[in-house]
Amino acid sequence: MGIRVRYAPSPTGLQHIGGIRTALFNYFFAKSRGGEFILRIEDTDRERYSEAALTDLYDTLKWLGIEADESPEKGGEYGSYVQSERTEIYREYARRLVESGHAYYCYCSQDRLEKLREKQKKDKQDFGYNRRCRTLSESEIEEYQQESIKPVIRLKIPLEGETVFNDYLLGEISKKNIDISPDPVLLKSDKYPTYHLANVIDDHFMNITHILRAQEWLPSCPLHIVLYNALGWKAPQYCHLPMVMGDNGQKLSKRHGATAVKEFIEQGYLPEAIINYVSLIGWSYDDSREFFTKQELEKLFTLDKLSKSPGVFDYKKLEWFNGHYIRQKSNEELKELLIPYLVKCEFIESETMPGMTTFLDEITALSKERLKVLSDIKDLVWFFFREIDTYFPEDIIPKKLDAAKTIEILETIKSHLSDVFSKSEDKVEELFKTLAEAAGVTLGNFIMPLRVAVTGSNVSPPIIGSLKLLGIEKTTARIERVVNILKDEVSNNG
């Protein structure tokens, strides 16, 4: 039988970096080995279930370009792939486990369990269920049934011996049964299964061969082995992936800023960058290669290069990858990616505005090397679309010059504007060099007042190209405005 792996998220929140890392590794592992990648929805927590989370899951996988071989959307011969549609199976097997003596009904109230936990914590005792209902007498059970308490079903963890399993990454792991979580719940009082039960049953019936999941599952793995044994099934090959941490060294969470893929998409991260970067948390190829496309990963990924230790998610490096992939885009592709952002800032109304095409091409070319994320476009090109609110003389006047000299420079440029707009960029640059020399200032100092006048900032895209895009009218007006401001400045000080 070929390799079959699954990504089995719970639709209780937005897909985050840790989740898709697991999805990606499963997907790449399947692809690289010619196996199948299955998507299964683990929606057994009815309290936290969210429709939006489910939509987000599908959207995210689509955005990443991950298509499952079998899934709720696509179907498959092992369906349903939604756990809430499989409840009968779980109930049936839970019942069988009780019958075979591997599980039992527990009538303890949640309230009682909570008190128990509190007491244990206070007394510094071992935590966990005290197995009170494991040894209930017939009459006690009858009594509880009479009270119509909705019981849960708990798994009987053996009181002696140990449970051993092999993890592909971590090797042989053994745990004394007494250290396994004491008798975890299999079937909740609402008749929905817990992760432990549903997961084991589904993986078995869906013929899952390898389980790649985060190491946070490691402690409960022996419990799953006990379950497999109780059911008389063979457990799949496990491989517990190193966790993804925030920069405080703890499990990545919202506290660290963006963790949801959706947020990254909104900021303007590309799937290429996310895939490339995320694949490198806990996995490497060799000592130097760091660029990988999805297609390459589908060939090159291997479990042998996994790391055992957790990895800190580095926003800076992601950003660097993103800038790289933005620069990899053709101008045409990048323009298309940028348009929604320009629309969102209301710089343009729609991508179909007549006469916009060339303008947008130019804007794209001017911005390409300056973008880390697509949303950076706003601060880069806003001056093409909006008037400048305020000028600060200290920005306009170069450090080594004074207001009078600056006025002179701007007047000089203004008088040559017709040349500027009729000649090629190279020629204009030559012209500026000549004029700067004549004025006795460096080219940089000569251009800076112009830059600030036209863009409102001393940091901007290349100025000559920007001028041409802005047009002679706006350019002239902005220069005049700044000259007037400087003249006021001079008279006020004089």
Partner RNA sequence: GUCUCCUUCGUCUAGUGGUCAGGACAGCGGGUUUUCAUCCCGCCAGCAGGGGUUCGACUCCCCUAGGAGAUGCCA
Q: Which of residues 99-118 bind RNA (CB under 7 A)?
A: 108-110, 113, 117
315 Cβ partners below 8 Å, 6+ apart?
A: 257, 258
Answer yes or no whether residue 188 interacts with RNA by CB under 7 A: yes
Contact status: 189 vs RNA (CB under 7 A): yes
As measured in angstroms, the least distance from the Cβ of 309 to RNA is 3
Task: Find the binding residues for RNA in span 141-160 (CB under 7 A).
Answer: 150, 152
b or e along 43-56 (b: 16 or more beta carbons within 10 Å of the residue's beta carbon)?
A: bbbeeeeeeebbeb
> Minimum distance from CB of 434 to RNA (Å)?
13
Interface residue with RNA, options 67, 85, 92, 126 (CB under 7 A): 126
CA distance linking residue 310 with residue 215, whole number of Å: 9
Residues 44-73 within binding reach of RNA (CB under 7 A):
44-45, 47-48
Tokens of 369: 């090397």
Site for RNA contains 456 (CB under 7 A): no
Which residues does 219 contact at the CB level (< 8 Å), separation at least 6? 181
Rule CB under 7 A: say whether 129 interacts with RNA. yes
In this structure, are residues 260 and 218 in contact, taking their beta carbons and an 8 Å threshold?
Answer: no
With CA atoms as reference, report the closest residue to 338 among 364, 365, 366: 364
Query: Would you count residue 364 as binding RNA (CB under 7 A)?
Result: no
Residue choice 15, 26, 163, 194 for contact with RNA (CB under 7 A): 194
Nearest approach, Cβ of 423 to RNA (angstroms)? 13
Contact 257, 314 (CB under 8 A): no
DSSP E strand boundaries for 161-262: 162-167, 171-176, 185-187, 210-214, 237-241, 244-245
Q: Which of residues 300-319 bind RNA (CB under 7 A)?
A: 305, 307-312, 314, 316-317, 319
Q: Which of 20, 24, 281, 339 binds RNA (CB under 7 A)?
A: 281
What is the DSSP secondary-structure string of 116-151? Answer: HHHHHHHTTPPPS---GGGG--HHHHHHHHHTT---
Residues in contact with 469: Cβ distance below 8 Å, sequence separation at least 6, in sequence order: 359, 362, 363, 366, 384
The stretch among 242-250, 261-269, 329-337, 470-478 that binds RNA (CB under 7 A) is 242-250
Q: Using CB atoms within 10 Å of the CB of residue 11, give its burial: 0 to 12 exposed, 13 to 18 middle, 19+ buried.
A: buried
CB of 353 to RNA, least distance (A): 26
Q: How many angstroms separate the CA atoms of 245 and 251, rounded?
A: 5
- The single residue among 226, 280, 342, 454 that binds RNA, judged by CB under 7 A, is 280
Identify the residue whose tokens are 């011969």: 77
Q: Which residue in the set 51, 88, 138, 286 belongs to the binding site for RNA (CB under 7 A)?
A: 286
Contact residue for RNA among 72, 236, 282, 456 (CB under 7 A):
282
Q: Does 241 participate in binding RNA (rule CB under 7 A)? A: no
Smaller CB distance to RNA: residue 184 or 271?
184
Q: Within positions 324 to 363, which residues make up the interface with RNA, using CB under 7 A?
A: 324, 327
Member of 461, 475, 479, 485 binding RNA (CB under 7 A): 461
User: What are the two backbone dihedrals, phi and then psi, of residue 283, each rounded to the nearest 5 degrees?
Assistant: -145, 150
Cα gap 267→196, rounded to integer Å: 37
CB of 240 to RNA, least distance (A): 8
* SS3 readout for 370-429: HCCCHHHHHHHHHHHCCCCCCCCHHHHCCCCCCHHHHHHHHHHHHHCHHHHHHCCHHHHH
Q: What is the nearest approach in angstroms of RNA to the Cβ of residue 421?
A: 15
Selected from 135, 137, 146, 288, the binder of RNA by CB under 7 A is 288
Q: Which of 29, 195, 292, 341 contacts RNA by CB under 7 A?
A: 195
* Window 432-451: residues binding RNA (CB under 7 A): 443-444, 447-448, 451
| Total residues interacting with RNA, rule: CB under 7 A | 92
Interface stretch with RNA, choices 134-142, 170-178, 200-208, 265-273 (CB under 7 A): 170-178
By CB under 7 A, is residue 406 in contact with RNA? no
**Residue 19 one-letter amino acid:** G
Residue 392 touches RNA, criterion: CB under 7 A: no
User: Which residues are annotated as catalytic?
Assistant: 254
Q: Is 10 in the site for RNA (CB under 7 A)?
A: yes
Q: Give dist(CA 210, CA 83) in Å, integer.
A: 19
When binding is defined by CB under 7 A, the residue of 127, 359, 385, 392 that contacts RNA is: 127
Is residue 427 close enough to count as binding RNA by CB under 7 A? no
Taking a C-beta distance cutoff of 8 angstroms, is the pair 407, 486 a contact?
yes
